[in-house]
Amino acid sequence: MAIFKGAAVAIVTPFTENREINFSKLGEIIDDQIANHTDAIVICGTTGESSTLTHEEHLEAIRFAVDHVAGRVPVIAGTGSNCTETAVYLSQEAEKYGADALLVVTPYYNKATQKGLIAHYTAIAESVKLPIIMYNVPSRTGCNIQPQTAAYLAKNVKNIVGIKEASGNISQVAKLMQLADGQIELYSGNDDQVVPLLSLGGFGVISVLSNVAPRETHDMVAKFLEGDLEGSREIQLRAIPLVDQLFCEVNPIPVKAAMNLMGWEVGPLRMPLTDMEPEHVENLKKAMIDFGIEVK
């Protein structure tokens, strides 16, 4: 049984003005996402600024999300690290807190060979019982899970069940799906490639766009899965200008700016991320308005 089908939000971590986690605001955002049919909550991913959270903050955010969601939708905890022991620790703690699944990014900076990736993911998977979604985003990590490696892990490690594919390489994804023989749950990691990956057998998307357009992102996937390909494609194409602006600077700079423009008051970023350039803010604002999002 799939962890989820549809659109999961890679949720932002709201901060107070002194850059502490704003848990009350996080709860409001979670509630709004669920009210708008978001199918799963991904906490402490890239969009959640996990790289600048302490281990204590990271785990507290996971625990809060699990408790606040209270079983309404699956909670998927980001527990990846470029240190296997750290990833094991975060994964085991997330399991104790009641997370439904784990999102584990490839090791970054120190990278890994394909042999190393197999060892890394196997060690994490063997330390927990939770289902694991591998996260392939070589533009950030400098490390690419080759299709043969991902297919091997999905076939040979019981609780490695899925992959969030953000390589941007459709040919690579097609090769993976051919090799996996239906034994992997594919999720798009790029908001501009949701429909293409669904056409290759994808189950949905783990989305940045969903932070600002949860209903539309959900509907894009739901329509495709229901057979309304034209309706799904219409949302995908209509969203492209907004997606472009949400990634005109490194994520999550634009999406937090967008949420603040919507009145969510998600607060500042943590360094080394800095405020969005003023001209980019204006372009983002226009794309939001054109998409039908109210800007305050």
CA pair distance 26, 119, nearest whole angstrom: 35
Catalytic position from the list 164, 187, 223, 256: 164
Backbone φ and ψ of 195, nearest 5°: -65, -45
Annotation says 115 is catalytic: no
Reference 100, options 62, 48, 51; nearest CA is 62
| Residue 213, SS3 per DSSP | coil
Give the E-state strand segments of 1-99 in sequence order: 6-10, 40-43, 75-78
Annotation says 135 is catalytic: yes
Tell me how crowded residue 70 is: count the other CB atoms within 10 A of its CB: 10
| Residue 90, SS3 per DSSP | helix
User: Which residues, listed in sequence order, are joined to residue 102 by a DSSP beta bridge?
Assistant: 77, 132
Tokens of 174: 């097609």
Catalytic position from the list 121, 135, 152, 187: 135
Residue with tokens 């094991």: 88
Are 238 and 227 in contact by the 8 Å Cβ rule? The answer is: no
Residue with tokens 């799904």: 232
CA pair distance 54, 295, nearest whole angstrom: 33
Q: Helix/strand/coil (H, E, C) string of 264-287?
A: CCCCCCCCCCCCCCHHHHHHHHHH
| Residue 77, SS3 per DSSP | strand
Tell me the Ramachandran region of residue 288: left when phi exceeds 0, alpha when psi lies from -120 to 50, beta otherwise: alpha
Cα 4 to Cα 32, 144, 203, 261, 273: the distances in Å are 18, 24, 8, 30, 31
Backbone φ and ψ of 164, nearest 5°: -95, 110
Q: Which residues are catalytic?
A: 135, 164
